[in-house]
Chain A
Amino acid sequence: MTFDRRSLLLAALVLPAAPAFAQDGIRAGDLAIGAPWTRATPAGSRVAGGYMTIRNTGSEPDALVGGSLSVAGRVEIHEMAMADGVMRMRELPQGLVIPPGGSVELRPGGFHVMFLDLAQPLRQGDRVTGTLRFRRAGEVRVDYTVQAMGAGPDGRPQGHGH
């Protein structure tokens, strides 16, 4: 047997997390951007959120300050928070700081890249191209995978089996 039970267990633990960096890892200077994704949009909706993990391997802070998307009129950097059952969303005019040696997760319910004025709906399975603009690392090209409309923070359907 090449695989004993311990290495199988290790594989089971590591594999679900692996695609975040292995599959779609994007390097831009000191930054590593993991698996950007977004969600399919319902008809009539002209907005969507972009999600990913951004790791800063350098010794200086950087900040995500803007970006673009091929099918969106505008892009903003937002923070969302839920308190007392109320969803509040704020633009981050100073950008989202990525601390040196740290990583920031953009995910549903939290920080996100906000796509506005979508020219067309986003369909599950599509890939959409855009850019992210960082204060230090500059402009970086990213491809977003369009997940299902109900996809959760891990990009998989949420609300089931919990």
Chain B
Amino acid sequence: MPSLRRLRLVLWGAVAFALLFAVGLTAASLVERLAPRLPSVGEASVGGPFELTTEDGTRLSSASLAGRPFALYFGFTHCPDVCPTSMFEIAKVLEEVGPAAADLKVYFVTVDPARDTPDLLRDYTDSFDPRIVGLTGTEAEIAAVARAYRAFYRKVPTSGGDDYTMDHSTMIYLMDARGRFVTGLGHQEAHGSKVEKVRRLLAGAG
């Protein structure tokens, strides 16, 4: 019966379509799951516009940074180990890169705006290098910039009454003159590799 055969064909076609669809869905979710949680080199969606308060109490819009590469880090001053060593190390990197890095700003965005006032941030960042500039803002502003940069931070209570510490991303983001993410400097990355990446950023080659 030709009509029954046609029906069978249509049904098999539907099964094949459903199978393909399922395979596609699985593949998509796998890709999502396997994709690194941290931004990788050249990823376009890391970064974005922000407006924050500088350590001098003035407002800084990312739009005003156009035309100049910059670096950005998420940290806090009540950080015993990773933040001071990262800032100490990036200061050494800038020193080694030399005059090419004379105007490179490293923005230290606090993930603890409740405690990190502009004054405190200025004292803190100036201990390392004048090119490191503290940025703070409202909780909402900090959350927005962290989201744009896909950075993670979270408040963790400790035993001392209402005291807390922060979990946070430790990468230094290198952004090009058009505000696009170029690459990151890892906390445990070798000094020479950091120097090389900053040199490439400033040479415009990424």
Contact = CB atoms under 8 A, between A and B. Distances in A.
Contact of B127 (A43, A115, A159): A43
A60 to B, nearest CB: 26
Contacts of A87: 81-82, 167-170, 187
B89 A89 contact: no
A44 interface: yes
Nearest to B168: A87
A84 B187 CA distance: 11
Given A49-B80, A87-B82, A114-B80, A42 B37 contact: no
A158 B84 CA distance: 12
A48 B77 CA distance: 10
B174 to A, nearest CB: 14
A47 interface: yes
A88 B167 contact: yes
A86 B123 contact: no
A10 B169 CA distance: 42
Interface stretch (A1-9, A74-82, A97-105, A133-141): A74-82
Contacts of A112: 80-81
Contact of B84 (A85, A88, A89, A149): A149
Contact of A85 (B88, B124, B187): B187
B120 A44 contact: yes
B147 interface: no
Residue of B36, B81, B158 most packed against chain A (CB within 10 A): B81
Residue of A42, A82, A93 most packed against chain B (CB within 10 A): A42
Nearest to B184: A85
A74 B165 CA distance: 14
Interface string B113-127: 000000011011011
B171 A85 contact: yes
A86 to B, nearest CB: 5
B23 to A, nearest CB: 29
B27 interface: no
A145 interface: no
Q: Which 5 A/B pairs are nearest by Cβ-Cβ distance?
A: A42-B127, A150-B88, A44-B123, A44-B124, A159-B191
Given A86-B170, A159-B92, 15 more contacts: A42-B84, A44-B120, A45-B77, A46-B78, A47-B78, A80-B81, A84-B37, A85-B170, A88-B156, A90-B156, A116-B163, A149-B88, A150-B85, A150-B89, A162-B190
